[in-house]
Amino acid sequence: MSAELEELYQSIILDHNRRPKNFRDMPDATAHADGVNPLCGDQLTVWLRMDGESVADISFRGQGCAISKASASMMTQVVKGKSRADADKLFDDVHALVTGRAGAQAAELGALKALSGVSKFPLRVKCASLAWHAMRAALHGAGGSVTTDQSGGESAS
Ligand code: ZN
């Protein structure tokens, strides 16, 4: 990755961390799930309001490192208005991105590519994927709490 690109990615993440999008409770949510990443201390809640099969609204609140917050903020921006199936696909794409298996589809991820730098740092991968695991849990009505405190961070099921 070039130094310029790395700088751009850094600034996207810092910007979302400072001014997170959709950072609010959602009283009329139809689903929510908590995410906990004990390795870093990240904690967040993701709310969804489904309209049939599409995500009419999505928000989050919580505290954690810049990566976890920026990832959650960007997630709310891209997932809003998507169908359940598209949100699932985004989960897969982002998961591939942050674990360094992005391949061709990364071209469609836009600003989310700022998260690609974490693939070199296993602990940061959990930070970046936390909100996404919570979103998927809420999306499939699992609710409750997901934690990354298992090998590979694949504990949402
Ligand atoms: Zn973190």
pLDDT tens per residue across span 55-71: 999 999 999 999 999 99
Distance 66 CA to ligand 1 centre (A): 7
Task: Calculate how far, in angstroms, residue 63's C-alpha sits from the geometric centre of ligand 1.
Answer: 9
Q: What is the pLDDT of residues 7-66, one digit of tens each?
A: 888 999 999 999 999 999 999 999 999 999 999 999 999 999 999 999 999 999 999 999
Domain presence at residue 8: yes
The answer to whether residue 153 is domain-embedded is no
Would you say the pTM of this structure is higher than 0.85? yes
Protein residues within 5 Å, CB atom, of ion ligand 1:
40, 42, 64-65, 68, 127
* Structural domains counted in the chain: 1
69: containing domain: 3-147
Residue 104 lies in a domain: yes
Instruction: Tell me, yes or no, whether 42 lies in a domain.
Output: yes
Alpha helices for 29-100 (secondary structure H): 66-79, 84-98
**CATH assignment of the domain containing 102:** 3.90.1010.10
Residue 108 phi, psi (nearest 5): -90, -5
- What token pair was written down for 44? 């967040």
pLDDT at residue 156 in the model = 41
Q: 34 to each of 44, 107, 120, how far by Cα in Å?
A: 6, 29, 26
The rounded percent of the chain whose pLDDT value lies above 70 is 89
Segment 112-128, tens digit of pLDDT:
989 988 888 888 999 99
CA 62 to ligand 1 center in whole angstroms: 11
Kindly state the average pLDDT of the residues 101-107: 64
